[in-house]
Amino acid sequence: MHSGNLVFAQLMEFVPWHTFRRLVAKYRGDFNVRSFSCLDQFLSMAFAQLTYRESLRDIEACLRAQPTKLYHMGLRGTVSRSALADANERRDWRIYAEFAQALIRTARRLYAQDSLSVDLAETVYALDATTIDLCLSLFPWAKFRTTKAAVKLHTLLDLRGAIPSFIHISDGKLHDVNVLDVLITEPGAFYVMDRAYLDFERLYRLHQCQGFFVTRAKSNFKFKRVYSRPVDRSTGLICDQEIQLVVFYSQKAYPERLRRIRYRDGEGRGLVFLTNHMTLAPMTICELYRSRWQVELFFKWIKQHLRIKRFFGTSENAVKTQIWIAVAVYVLVAIVRKRLNLELSLHEMLQILSVMPFEKTPMFQLLTCSAAAENFNDDPNQLILL
C-alpha cells in the first residue's frame, strides 16, 4: 500500500484485478466500449456503496465535485448518469457475480479458523432467503403478487466470519425450498434451515451427498418412534428420539431414520428439531439452530448499510449488477478487516470509509486510530460531556 494514495484507492488495492480483467474478457464486457469501461463502472458503483449514494445523479454530482482526484481513484472514463445507466443496463451481470464469488473464496480462507458458537470442526452454513420489495410498474419482470414486485436473495451464510458462500437472486415467486435444487452439497458440512426448507425428497438428496441438516418440524408432522435416548430435562430437553416417517409419500421420499429432538427454551416455547446426524449431543443440535439467527442479522445488516433497497436501474441486469457489486464491497471490507487485523466491526469500518474516500491518510492508521479513540471513550473513568 503506497502512502499518499486516496483512501478509496488504498481500499481497491486489495482487489484481485487480474481476476476482474479475466472475467471482463470472458464475457466481453468492454467489447465496442470507448470511454466508460467495466472497471469504471465497478469503481463508480463501489463508491456509491461505500458513500451511501442514492441515485445516479447523486453519484455523478459527488464524483464530478472532485475532478482532480478521479484519476487517482482509478477512474479513466467520464462519469455521467447516462454512461453509468447504460453500463448497468448492458454489461453482463455475471462479470460481477463471478468476481464477488472470487472475493468470497478469498474471505472464506481468511476466516476459516474463526471460532463458532458451538464446538465443531465442520463447516456450518445457515440457509435462508430475504425479499426486497419493488414497484411492479417499474420492475415488471420481478413478479411477486398481483400488484407487487420483488426479488429474493437466497443466501447460504458461512457462520465463520458471516461470509455468504452462495447467493441466488430470483423473482419473488420462487419458493425458498427450490434453492436446494441448485445448491451443491459440501460433504460433512451442516446446513441449518427453518421450516420453509422441510422437503423430505430434497433433504434426502442432501443426506445422500453426505451433508448434515438441522431444521424444525411442522406442527402436522407424522412419525413413529423407533428409539429414545435418555436426556437431562434440567437443560430444557424433553426428548431425543430416532423416528421413522409414516405418511406414504414422506416415507417414500425419505426412507431412512431421522432424529427428533424436542426442546423447551427459557421463555417456555416448545421447539422440535429434525436432523440426520445421529451422534451429536442434543444440546449442540439446539445451539446449531440458534446460530441460524446470524443469517437474519446478515440480511438486516446489508439492507441497512448497503444500497440494495433502492436501485439505479429497472432492468433485471441492472438490479443483479447492483446487488452483486454490493456483495463484493461487503466481502472486500471483510477481507481488509482480516488482513489488517483490525478490531473494528464492519459497520464501523464502513462508517469511517464513507466519509474519508478522498483523504490521503494511510488506511491502516485511519482505522487503527479510530479503534484506539473508541477504546479511549469506553473508559469508565472518562467523563462524558453532554
HSE of 249, CA atoms in CB hemisphere, 13 A: 3
Q: What is the pLDDT of residues 232-272, one digit of tens each?
A: 998 999 999 999 999 999 999 999 999 999 999 888 889 99
Distance (Å, rounded) from C-alpha 106 to C-alpha 102? Answer: 7
| Co-location of 268 and 334 in the same domain | no
| Co-location of 261 and 331 in the same domain | no
Q: What is the pLDDT of residues 340-349, one digit of tens each?
A: 998 888 889 9
Distance (Å, rounded) from C-alpha 42 to C-alpha 106? Answer: 19
Instruction: Provide the residue range defining the domain that includes 223.
Output: 194-291
Kindly report the number of other CB atoms within 10 A of residue 353's CB atom.
21
Structural domain count, the chain: 2
Domain assignment present for 18: yes
Q: What is the pLDDT of residues 152-189, one digit of tens each?
A: 999 999 998 889 999 999 988 999 999 999 999 999 99
End of a domain among 272, 291, 310? Answer: 291
| Co-location of 285 and 352 in the same domain | no
**CATH number for 201:** 3.30.1370
Domain assignment present for 130: no
Domain assignment present for 158: no
Domain assignment present for 222: yes
Position 377 scores a pLDDT of: 47
| Co-location of 25 and 92 in the same domain | yes
| Co-location of 276 and 212 in the same domain | yes
| Co-location of 268 and 341 in the same domain | no
pLDDT band for 386, please (50, 70, 90 cuts). very low
Domain assignment present for 144: no
| Co-location of 214 and 270 in the same domain | yes
Q: Are 65 and 53 in contact (CB under 8 A)?
A: no
Give mean pLDDT, residues 323-327: 95
Position 380 scores a pLDDT of: 47
Position 328 scores a pLDDT of: 95
Domain assignment present for 308: no
| Co-location of 269 and 322 in the same domain | no
| Co-location of 31 and 66 in the same domain | yes
Residue closest to 44 by CA, chosen among 333, 357, 305, 331: 357
| Co-location of 264 and 207 in the same domain | yes
Domain assignment present for 282: yes
Domain assignment present for 285: yes
